[in-house]
């Protein structure tokens, strides 16, 4: 069963890989880099000022009552979603406690509900019970995982995917062959898609 989590929960050890990063040019991305320091931004949807601008492009001007995010990690994209949405429900299989003071510092903690789930069935049950009108998919990047996540959220009619890039393209850092995002997105009607790599946005009338 999905669990509403908090900063007080026991923490699993999560190993991260050492990557040397350059300092961002400022703005929200720069503050994220300053806040979390070494290693973090490479694993985030906000891995550059350009990507921050892209996310804002897809959010700006939209009325979002409740956004769902699959793949919380340290909650940086969650905070940005909460700036534009009235409420954000974010879901992950791990509870990284660093996100809570981050959300508090940015004044959005009271707009966010963070859940940890045990498996895909747990996640699907939670999503079926939520009324939301925007979704951001950045969780399990396997084809099976992306397909399952999209099936759970497509009812909202507006879905933003992260890490849409083809193997061997200039956007590929050697991991595209393990990604299922491109396969799933390319099956969607082209007229319903807006591509701005590494993001893909799908929109149609709500089911």
The DSSP-derived string for 123-162 is HHHHHHT---SEEEE-S--SHHHHHHHHHHHGGGSEEEEE
Tell the residue number behind the tokens 């019970």, with chain if given: 129
Distance CA 31, CA 27 (A): 6
CATH fold of the domain at 19-203: Rossmann fold (3.40.50)
Q: Where are the domains of the chain?
A: 19-203
Range ranked top by mean pLDDT from 3-17, 26-40, 155-169, 185-199: 185-199
Distance CA 163, CA 137 (A): 9
Q: Is 2 exposed, middle or buried (0-12, 13-18, 19+ CB in 10 A)?
A: middle
Whether pTM exceeds 0.85: no
Name every residue whose Cβ is closer than 8 Å to that of residue 158 and which is 6 or more positions away in sequence: 62, 133, 134, 135, 201, 202, 203
**Residue 110 phi, psi (nearest 5):** -80, -5
Tell me: the pLDDT tens digits for 100-114? 988 888 888 999 999
Confidence bin at 97 (pLDDT 50/70/90): confident
How much is the pLDDT for 112? Answer: 96
How much is the pLDDT for 96? Answer: 86
State the average pLDDT over residues 148-166.
94
Tell me: the pLDDT tens digits for 17-28? 332 223 333 467
């Amino acid at each position: 069963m999905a669990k509403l989590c908090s900063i007080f929960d026991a923490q699993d050890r999560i190993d991260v890989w050492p990557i040397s990063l350059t300092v961002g040019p400022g703005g929200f991305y720069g503050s994220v880099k300053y806040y979390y320091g070494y290693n973090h931004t490479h694993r985030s949807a906000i891995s550059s000022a350009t990507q921050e601008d892209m996310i804002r492009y897809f959010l700006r001007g939209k009325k979002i009552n409740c956004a769902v995010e699959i793949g919380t990690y340290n909650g940086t994209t969650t905070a940005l979603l909460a700036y534009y949405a009235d409420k954000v429900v974010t879901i992950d299989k791990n509870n990284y406690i660093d996100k809570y003071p981050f959300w508090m510092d940015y004044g959005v903690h009271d707009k966010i509900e963070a859940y940890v789930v045990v498996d895909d069935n747990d996640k699907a049950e939670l999503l079926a019970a939520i009324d939301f009108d925007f979704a951001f998919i950045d969780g399990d990047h396997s084809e099976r995982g992306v397909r399952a996540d999209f099936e759970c959220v497509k009812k909202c009619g507006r879905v933003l995917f992260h890490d849409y890039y083809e193997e061997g393209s200039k956007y590929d850092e050697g991991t595209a062959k393990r990604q299922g995002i491109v396969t799933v997105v390319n099956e969607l009607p082209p007229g319903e898609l807006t591509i701005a790599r590494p993001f893909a946005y799908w929109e149609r009338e709500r089911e």
